[in-house]
Amino acid sequence: MPDTATLEKETSASKQINELVANAQLAFDQYQNFSQEQVDTICQAMVNAAAAHSKDLAELAYKETGRGNTEDKAIKNIFASQYIWKQVKDDKTVGIIGVDEAKKVDKVAEPLGIIAGVTPVTNPTSTVIFKILLALKTRNAIIFSLHPQAMQCGVATARLMAEAAVAAGAPKNLVQWISDPSIEASNALLNHPGIAIVLATGGPGLVKAAYSTGKPALGVGPGNAPVYIEKTANIKSAVTDIMLSKTFDNGMICASENSVVIDRDILRDVKEEFEKQGAYFVPDNEVEKLSEAVIDPNRHTVRGPVAGQTAEKIAELAGIKVPAGTKLLIGKLDGIGVNFPLSGEKLSPVLSMYVASSQEAAFSICLGLLNYGGLGHTAVLHTQDNNVVDKFGAQMPACRILINQPGSLGGIGGLFNGLTPSLTLGTGTYGKNSISHNLSTYDLLNIKYVARPTRHPVEFINELRSVIRAK
């Protein structure tokens, strides 16, 4: 039986969550009377507030978490507000949103209810902005379980958005958060009967917990994206893209490349270009030291204190001397899996490197890396051969196949490709997710279909009966 202290914690957590859900339900009920114009006015106000304070929130996030850098976090905040709003602002989310005259079917949008939002330490402010914006655009309410290592910046972001929404006419308590965080409170939120859906972004354990609640959940798993530099690639452009991706906020976007696979024919030129741009190739006899510093041997994931650190800081932790100004660490591996820990997701400016003797071998390595913790997420290819693009796209079990672009900034979409801008990237059934696309407004709506008859029912059935009798 649970001891007294545990029971007290559970009781306190349950009381806190019950109050939050009750307040959210009242706000949600009021919000159902709002028109599309009112909803969009509220969202625009939140976007304006988030964009105006993007740098302030970024500074808070960096100061509290010690990960990444302020400038890139500010960019992510702007992306989560202005860029995503540009994508969804014209989406119809209230009432009749579509009419098919030929099929005589109307589509009517309804909200899901109260969302439980779970956020990561890696993107603590931008994820909050993104989830609130989508939740209120679709007339839902949202309650956050914020990462304990990013509580202050998460609360500041949620409060900013909530106050902007209320000032624009929204009911109070559409946006709330657990103010006294604990495992018990998080579990109580995710499993509360008043919660309609769980929207979880975080590590594998967290996502699994979201899917174990017995209710709908949209949770995204880890990424272990391979990048293949094929022999026809523009080497300078390929390396530039990878360097940008791996150094942007110190590699914490889950779509960032984790391993580079290089055709042997161009290996020397690729290495030279990486070194020109600030990468350091860790000597073979020190790769194990790097691996021990970066990967937790028990969980087989990146160590918490390493994610989002600079290459120089990670080298220091590993006891490896690198030139001043080193931006990226690269270690050569000959295998994949638990016996080669560095082959997994690293969420930092660290790459494992593989050399392929053929295109077939390169594809095989990429498949192995995706199978080792990256199924369904992202795979990147640099090539000038469209036949290779077609083959890669057909064979990789990844929902984002990115060609000649940075993995991290390409995966979140909208900046320089046609993917839907999002900070929740589905991995499909490959990665045990319920969606295989970048999450957007449509995923947070119930769609009702109002169908009128396209032919006379009795006459149609009688015609079928006549046909059958004639046989």
438-470: per-residue pLDDT in tens? Answer: 999 999 999 999 999 999 999 999 999 999 998
Among the ranges given (25-29, 163-167, 201-205), the one the predictor scored with the smallest mean pLDDT: 201-205
pLDDT at residue 328 greater than cutoff 70: yes
Q: Which string of DSSP letters, residue by residue, matches 226-261? A: EEEE-TTS-HHHHHHHHHHHHHGGGG-STTSEEEEE
Within-domain flag for 425: no
Packed helices 36-52 and 54-65: angle between N→C axes, nearest 10 degrees: 60
- Which pLDDT score, from 0 to 100, does residue 242 have? 98
165-179, 283-297, 351-365, 429-443: which range is least confident on average? 429-443
CB 359 within 8 A of CB 264: no
Q: In what order do the strands lie in the sheet with 350-356?
A: 279-282, 328-332, 350-356, 257-263, 225-229, 376-382, 398-403
Q: Residues 143, 73: one domain?
A: yes
Q: What is the pLDDT of residue 221?
A: 65
Q: Please determine, for residue 2, whether its predicted confidence score (pLDDT) is greater than 70.
A: no
Specify whether 254 is located in the same domain as 401. Answer: yes
Same domain, 217 and 277: no
Mean of the pLDDT values across residues 228-254?
Answer: 97
Q: Which residues of 409-442 are buried (b: 16+ CB within 10 A; e: fewer)?
A: bbbbbbeeeebbbbbbbbbbebbebebbbbbbbb
Closest CA to 178 of 125, 116, 120: 116
**What proportion of the chain, given as a percentage, has pLDDT over 70?**
98
Percent of the chain with pLDDT over 90: 88
DSSP string, 179-242: SS--HHHHHHHHH-TTEEEEEEES-HHHHHHHHTSSS-EEEE----EEEEE-TTS-HHHHHHHH
What is the domain range of residue 10? 4-221
Q: Is the pLDDT of residue 1 over 60?
A: no
User: What are the φ and ψ backbone dihedral angles of 109, each rounded to 5 degrees?
Assistant: -90, 135
| 423 part of a folded domain | no
pLDDT band at 212 (very low <50, low <70, confident <90, very high): confident
Q: Are 388 and 399 a contacting pair, CB within 8 Å?
A: no
Q: Are 201 and 232 in a shared domain?
A: no
341 belongs to a structural domain: yes
Q: Mean pLDDT over all residues of the chain? A: 95
Tell me: pLDDT of 5 over 70: no
CB atoms within 10 A of CB 316: 14
Whether 204 has a pLDDT exceeding 70, the answer reads no
Query: Does 211 share its domain with 243?
Result: no
Coil/strand/helix, residue 396: coil
Residue 135 forms part of a structural domain: yes
Same domain, 262 and 136: no
C-alpha dihedral (91, 97, 98, 104), degrees to nearest 10 = 170
Catalytically active residues, by annotation = 254
**What tens digit of pLDDT does each residue of 34-92 get?**
999 999 999 999 999 999 999 999 999 999 999 999 999 999 999 999 999 999 999 99
The region of weakest confidence among 167-176, 210-219, 425-434 is 210-219
pLDDT at 382: 98
Of the residues 197, 221, 245, the one at which a domain ends: 221
In this structure, what CATH number is given to the domain that contains residue 29? Answer: 3.40.605.10
d(CA 24, CA 173) in angstroms, rounded, equals 6
Q: How far apart are CA 260 and CA 226, in angstroms?
A: 6
Which has the closest alpha carbon to 255: 405, 57, 432, 385?
A: 405
Which CATH number is 274's domain given?
A: 3.40.309.10
Residue 315 lies in a domain: yes
> What residue type is 192 in one-letter code?
H
Asked if 216 and 235 sit in the same domain, the reply is: no
d(Cα 382, Cα 234) in Å, to the nearest integer? 8
- pLDDT value at residue 426: 92
Residue-wise pLDDT for 90-148, tens only, equals 999 999 999 999 999 999 999 999 999 999 899 999 999 999 999 999 999 999 999 99
Regarding whether 15 and 157 lie in a shared domain, the answer is yes
Kindly state whether residues 210 and 308 are assigned to the same domain.
Answer: no
Residue 114 lies in a domain: yes
**Is 246 in the same domain as 97?**
no
Cβ count near 264 (within 10 Å): 13
**Domain presence at residue 441:** no
| Average pLDDT estimate for 199-228 | 82
Give the mean pLDDT of 407-431: 95
Question: What DSSP designation does 438 have?
Answer: B
The CA-CA-CA angle for residues 202, 206, 209, to 5°, reads: 150
Q: Both 307 and 178 in a single domain? A: no
Q: Which of 201, 221, 241 is the last residue of a domain?
A: 221
Let me know if residue 428 belongs to a domain: no
- Single out the residue in 198, 221, 244 at which a domain terminates: 221
Q: How many domains does the chain have?
A: 2
- Is the Cβ–Cβ distance between 238 and 403 less than 8 Å? no
pLDDT band for position 432 (50/70/90)? Answer: confident
Q: Are 230 and 372 contained in the same domain?
A: yes
- Facing residues of 376 across strands? 398
